[in-house]
């Protein structure tokens, strides 16, 4: 049994400590907002925040996540920045299919925590998530809106 602090709550998971965090979240804790995309650290669909830092959960073992504060899409709205990003996503109707959006939102929150008023170039550099629908211009506009720009 490992204890993970997920969205401010200590949760017990009974899985192999070498299991990727993604699968513990989805299959062990039933937090299915974190999506499986590629499994090779490329697409960003599985993004979470570990101690405030953006990580692709498909590449983080439970041993490495134990002791960290893990924030998933289910808990990101508890912060002012997270709430602002989620509202901007709604206001500007960012998603099309929506599959990548939980990872996109976590990446946007991570960016705004480090850079409260990002430029287009900073947004483009930070938003490495792959969106098959191509909503990148709406993502950029939503980040500016969440930043109050």
Same domain? For 31 and 86 the reply is: no
Same domain? For 39 and 101 the reply is: no
Six token digits for residue 102: 């939980």
Give the C-alpha separation, 63 to 60, whole Å: 8
- Predicted confidence at residue 71, as pLDDT, reads 98
Same domain? For 103 and 120 the reply is: yes
Which of 71, 105, 126 lies at the terminal end of a domain, its last residue? 71
Contact between residue 123 and residue 94 where contact means Cβ atoms under 8 Å apart: no
Q: Which CATH number is 34's domain given? A: 3.10.20.30
Same domain? For 116 and 132 the reply is: yes
Same domain? For 55 and 15 the reply is: yes
Same domain? For 87 and 28 the reply is: no
User: Over 90: is that where the pLDDT of 149 sits?
Assistant: no
Give this prediction's pTM: 0.94
- Predicted confidence at residue 31, as pLDDT, reads 96
pLDDT mean over 12-26:
94
Same domain? For 57 and 90 the reply is: no
pLDDT tens digits for 54-107? 999 999 999 999 999 999 999 999 999 999 999 999 999 999 998 999 999 999
Give the position of tokens 């960290």. 68
**Domain count of the fold of the chain:** 2
């Amino acid at each position: 049994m490992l204890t993970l602090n997920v969205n401010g709550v200590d949760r017990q998971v009974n899985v192999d400590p070498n299991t990727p965090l993604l699968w513990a979240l989805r299959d062990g804790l039933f937090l299915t907002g974190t999506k499986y995309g590629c499994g090779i650290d490329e697409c960003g669909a599985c993004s979470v925040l570990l101690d405030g830092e953006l990580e692709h959960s498909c590449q983080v073992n439970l041993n490495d996540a134990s002791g960290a504060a893990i924030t998933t899409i289910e808990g990101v709205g508890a912060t002012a920045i997270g709430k602002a990003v989620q509202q901007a996503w709604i206001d500007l109707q960012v998603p099309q299919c929506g599959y990548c959006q939980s990872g996109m939102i976590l990446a946007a929150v991570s960016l705004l925590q480090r850079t409260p008023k990002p430029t287009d170039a900073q947004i483009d550099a930070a938003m490495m998530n792959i969106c098959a629908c191509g909503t990148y211009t709406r993502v950029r506009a939503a980040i500016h809106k969440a930043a109050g720009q």
